[in-house]
Amino acid sequence: MASPGRKAFPLRLDPALYAALERAAACDLRSVNAEVEVLLREALGRRGIKVEAAEPVRRGRPPKEAG
């Protein structure tokens, strides 16, 4: 399930391309999804297309409520 504010869509890839993405993602300690996002942002940047920075993912437990 996609996080709020994220767009989920099916993507068909050549198996060799997916395997290369898996290797690259593992080297960068990322998921394949995160690796695809990074590569797309880099490619768009090289074309001069600015993309707003993604909001950082909040990890861990939520803060305790005061009181």
Asked whether the beta carbons of 51 and 41 are under 8 A apart, the reply is yes
The three-state secondary structure class of 57 is: coil
- Between CA 19 and CA 16 the distance in angstroms is 5
CB 21 within 8 A of CB 34: no
Least confident of 15-19, 23-27, 31-35, 57-61: 57-61
Residue 11's contacts (CB-CB under 8 Å, 6 or more residues apart) are 36
pLDDT at 2: 62
SS3 state of residue 26: helix
pLDDT classification of 28: cutoffs 50, 70, 90: very high
